[in-house]
Amino acid sequence: MADLKRTVFFDLHNELGAKMVPFAGYEMPVQYKLGVMKEHLHTRASAGLFDVSHMGQVILRPRSGDLADVAAALEALVPVSVLGLKEGRQRYAMFTNDAGGILDDLMVANRGDHLFLVVNAACKEADIAHLRAHLSDACEIEVIEDRALVALQGPAAEKALSRLNPYAAGMRFMDSANLGFFGEECWVSRSGYTGEDGYEVSVPNGKAVDLARALLEMDEVEAIGLGARDSLRLEAGLCLYGHDIDETTSPVEAALEWAIQKVRRKGGAREGGFPGAARILDELENGTTRRRVGILPEGRAPMREGTGLFADAEGGAAIGTVTSGAYGPSIERPMAMGYVEIDHAVDGTQIFGEVRGKHLPAIVSPLPFRPSNYKR
């Protein structure tokens, strides 16, 4: 742990009794005194506060003074519409490679005179190098090092955050705005990684702990670690980079085509023009040979990452693999996501997972495993 980075909340984590573990090069809390199960359920019932400061924050400013130039340049790296992103709005995107695989997934916000990107912790150095290699002519690339990032998630998130700034209550899902907290400008989006309503707040380091303490003093709010964050996002059917998506996985295989707007597809005004477009556009039209699906084991045994999937109880050739698996506290049963051959990807299909040498039954299930509660 000695050579791991620490976020500005490190001392607060220890004060709160967190169990710290290595994660993406950082020393991060996996759970607090409540434990993973209670932290998960508290977030679903009320509000949970997550330290996500390990993630990368990047600003893209146009050299020309015209934000459209930056948006057009970024569209050369992602299959989504950035030019169509309105001021004060945020959108999910992904960097793709020439083979149509996913280099990382990210959030992009239009903040008027610049774009604000949040990228995954494990990929941020590679992402920043990727941006500098391709976008330096069009924009200034500013890596934000002096701000923390927290996520406040759950049905009571609005009530809690609006106590500190009433404007938070007026935001809708995927809105992005500047809100003042403790005399500092914070960059707030109404979004998250749990399937619940909530916010992500970029706050200057000097006020980050003050903001966290103020929220944690509220009856609705508890500190939540990485363990519950993982089970929450899995119940919500959300991908974890390096597990459910990676450089070999296309957005269509990953069931992420909802993020690719018509304007970037075949026949659209800005069709293609991003790495791997030939493969991705073809798959949008003609389908894929495998597909990410939800999986509900029929028994109590969890099917973890790497579990082989089969068409029948006798084995035979594998038809896929589990990429994420855990117990779902809200649905009160094991759950998993993985890739299966397209003939077995229909909801309701009976499949089998190999667990400790036995082929145990499971059902291909719609995602998410429970309804999401975003504020539209």
Listed residues 218, 235, 252: the one ending a domain: 235
What is the distance of C-alpha 154 from the center of its chain?
A: 16
Residue 352 lies in a domain: yes
The answer on 228 and 298 residing in a single domain is no
Residue 140 lies in a domain: no
Listed residues 235, 267, 297: the one ending a domain: 235
The answer on 186 and 326 residing in a single domain is no
The answer on 187 and 305 residing in a single domain is no
| pLDDT reported for residue 181 | 97
Q: Is 57 helix (H, G, I), strand (E, B) or coil?
A: strand
3: its two tokens: 């050579």
pLDDT tens figures, 296-327: 999 999 999 999 999 999 878 999 999 999 99
Return the residue matching tokens 């490679």: 97
Q: In residues, how long is the chain?
A: 376
Residue 97 lies in a domain: no
Residue 212 lies in a domain: yes
**What average pLDDT does range 276-294 have in this prediction?**
98
The answer on 323 and 188 residing in a single domain is no
Residue 206 lies in a domain: yes
The answer on 224 and 373 residing in a single domain is no
The answer on 368 and 304 residing in a single domain is yes
Return the residue matching tokens 């959300």: 238
Residue 110 lies in a domain: no
**What average pLDDT does range 137-141 have in this prediction?**
96
Tally of domains within the chain: 2
- Picking from 125, 85, 82, the residue whose alpha carbon sits closest to that of residue 103 is 125
Cα distance between residue 186 and residue 173, in whole Å: 17
| pLDDT reported for residue 1 | 67
Q: CATH no. for residue 294? A: 2.40.30.110
The answer on 369 and 229 residing in a single domain is no
Residue 221 lies in a domain: yes
The answer on 297 and 190 residing in a single domain is no
Largest Cα separation within the chain, whole Å, is 65
**What average pLDDT does range 246-270 have in this prediction?**
98
Cα distance between residue 73 and residue 95, in whole Å: 13
Q: CATH no. for residue 221? A: 3.30.1360.120
Domain housing 179: 10-54+146-235
**Main-chain phi, psi angles of 316, to 5 degrees:** 80, -160
pTM: 0.96
| pLDDT reported for residue 2 | 72
Q: How many CB atoms lie within 10 A of CB 200?
A: 24
The answer on 332 and 231 residing in a single domain is no
Q: How far is CA 326 from CA 129, 193, 231, 355, in A?
A: 34, 16, 7, 13
The answer on 351 and 229 residing in a single domain is no
Residue 125 lies in a domain: no
Mean pLDDT, the chain, rounded, equals: 97
